[in-house]
Structure 1
């Protein structure tokens, strides 16, 4: 506790920050000990992790406002999935945004500053303490890059104005949130499926121990894999939409069209690579490989209009709709032409994601096995991608004895980070 806070007889408020690949959230425990999920995006707690450099107004927009500006055709540059760059050399590279160039790191700092500003408006005071969530592994099987990713995350938060920073694993934070609703000791597998990573913890929960500052003895195992919602989006985009632009098209000489441009267009943090002068020239020259020129024309329309993010956003929306209802969900492509009408279907989604979902489930099972257990009482689902229908079905099949509980998909981790932070300052 700072001396100023001590003199006033209060404690510093700690902002729990869940900086996500697709969405971010924040929460705090107020002076009365009550949890407050910060409404970061209008009335919504989840704020798309998106930054839009508006060339028409020469302003920077964030969250859903950034997405709406981009999707409405406003001239500018959209950046998403910035968390995916943590731990990579790309973070220190410069990228063109309008008439200037910024490091990707500087753009992360801008996002943190805006998140901090919105949180301070809600709290009615300056916030200097932050509990940052982090995945079990930012980078799989590379401890050096993983450590660099955490250091970069903390450095961005400091440059945004936070002076006191601590870290907690995201699945443990989610467990601490769930513990607030547990009435008796429970062994739970927490499944946190975010935009970029899937993280798990097997943990012993007990409301009688919820205020202890050190819960190390209750954490039985943690595992994680670098697979998340953006990977599901990429696979669905490749299987559903990209064939309408020429992906897997067998062209002249009975050869498939080169696929690098389709992979770039289907990967949130690589889309900008498809718009470089070199990439555009390469794509234009591909016309000689196509026997169906309609496909090539759609590809060029997508590239020249810089519609990559819009395509993925439409796929993401269809994925969510199909997961909720189980019914076919159309992917709106009328901005390309009037003839493309693909749909995400339950069967197609299960088929496209089968291998990737199996990897996630194996990681979940490993977390239980590493805890020395054959089963758990509860599987607690959190994270924006944890409602994915094929994933829920696969987890239920893998752990039939456990009760599946759905938590706060977007605010649960932030809430747990706030609880963890409040214990540190008590």
Structure 2
């Protein structure tokens, strides 16, 4: 009897699930034939019915009434997991919300396999929370409990960059010393690992994994930096008010620039404060735009436009970003140079973490044969340029950026749980 197992990549921005069915590894179509799904939920206002992925995104941007949520992974290990949130007037904890999303992925995999899958390798970043081992352990414990809640009985964890390496290793001939750079929406993780087709068959890969590092920086941080540099100033960021020429409160702008904070902005108190400051504003035209966003609850639309600009600047030097939902015929031109200046500090942190990984592994950058880039943030031209500069002699592998971690987790599940059900399984 063959043990059915799977790997789940629960990402900050996108998620996927892949199964090992009788030794065949494959990604599961999770939404309209797509093998990745945005990590997004929309709770309908009338009955709190949940919609997921692209469906959730479309409902929100079609201005349907309800609560939209993204970047849920960033809540793991934080006090918000215990405090919960109010969804359409109902208090709901984040464990329930995340379970709801991941249960849909499991249901798709069960249907694909034709039976319930009980064995899973869950992906995790090297650090859920930077410089806090206690919070990091808490985040994994919370994800473990969620996996149990949705029906898994045998649960293991694997670092996401290691999983990405396993996905690429399946196609290798010969041996390579590789560094994996997994740049997702919320974290950037790195692994130095020896890869070969022969090593892929080993159950224990600890001797091949030379080092892991990670930093809590990702595509969402790029969005925030771009928003504060190019977009929030057009909504009155750092403008002044009153006879004393005071700077307007900055917190609403910072929250408006972060996916996980937007939903906390639409309070009567903040809207009233913004209206009062508008009367004293020295830049009423721009500050009025902030009030419009708060009153119409279009913060996620602002962030989506920011993300769209980030993606567009991958291929163009200047992008006219549409904000006509705030004000008729309102566009903000953004140059790639401004975007790159705004994220320079974050990219420096990413490169520093990659360099630390090399140092911890005891290898030189010229020793690296292969750089594996995975995660949507590796599309950013500045990021690609920095890795090519750091590893000028290495081959670059960047296919399947959004799905390689899920595939690799399924390969790892094959090794961890064995080929037959008779093999002893240790439950986490």
Q: TM-score, normalised by structure 2?
A: 0.94
Residues 261 and 283 in structure 1, CA contact (< 8 A), matched pair in contact too: no
Aligned counterparts of 1:298 and 1:155: Cα–Cα separation in 2: 43
Residues 178 and 407 in structure 1, CA contact (< 8 A), matched pair in contact too: no
Residue 136 of structure 2 corresponds to which residue in structure 1? 146
Residues 56 and 74 in structure 1, CA contact (< 8 A), matched pair in contact too: no
Residues 45 and 410 in structure 1, CA contact (< 8 A), matched pair in contact too: no
Residues 318 and 343 in structure 1, CA contact (< 8 A), matched pair in contact too: no
Residues 378 and 403 in structure 1, CA contact (< 8 A), matched pair in contact too: yes
Residues 241 and 277 in structure 2, CA contact (< 8 A), matched pair in contact too: no
Residue 272 of structure 1 corresponds to which residue in structure 2? 263
Deviations 1:221-242 (A, max 9, x none): 1100000111111111111211
* Residue 247 (str. 1) matches residue 234 (str. 2): no
Select which of 260, 265, 272 maps to 1:281. Answer: 272
Unaligned runs of 5+ in 1: 1-8
Deviations 1:355-390 (A, max 9, x none): 111110111111112111112111110012111111
Residue 5 of structure 1 corresponds to which residue in structure 2? none
Cα 1:172/1:219, change in 2 over 3 Å = same
Residue 304 of structure 2 corresponds to which residue in structure 1? 313
Select which of 281, 292, 295 maps to 1:290. Answer: 281
Worse-matched range after superposition: 122-131 or 307-316: 122-131
Aligned counterparts of 2:18 and 2:128: Cα–Cα separation in 1: 22
Residue 254 of structure 1 and its aligned partner are, at CA, apart by 3.7
Write out the 4+ residue segments of structure 1 that deviate beyond 3 Å after TM superposition. 250-255
Unaligned runs of 5+ in 2: 420-428
* Residue 234 (str. 1) matches residue 224 (str. 2): yes
Count of residues in correspondence between the two structures: 415
Select which of 174, 179, 183 maps to 1:189. Answer: 179
Select which of 14, 19, 34 maps to 1:28. Answer: 19
Aligned counterparts of 1:94 and 1:185: Cα–Cα separation in 2: 48
The 5 A counterparts of 1:7-406 are 9-11=1-3, 13-31=4-22, 33-56=23-46, 58-252=48-242, 253-323=244-314, 325-375=315-365, 376-406=368-398
Aligned counterparts of 2:95 and 2:280: Cα–Cα separation in 1: 39
- RMSD between aligned alpha carbons? 1.4
Residue 56 of structure 1 and its aligned partner are, at CA, apart by 4.8
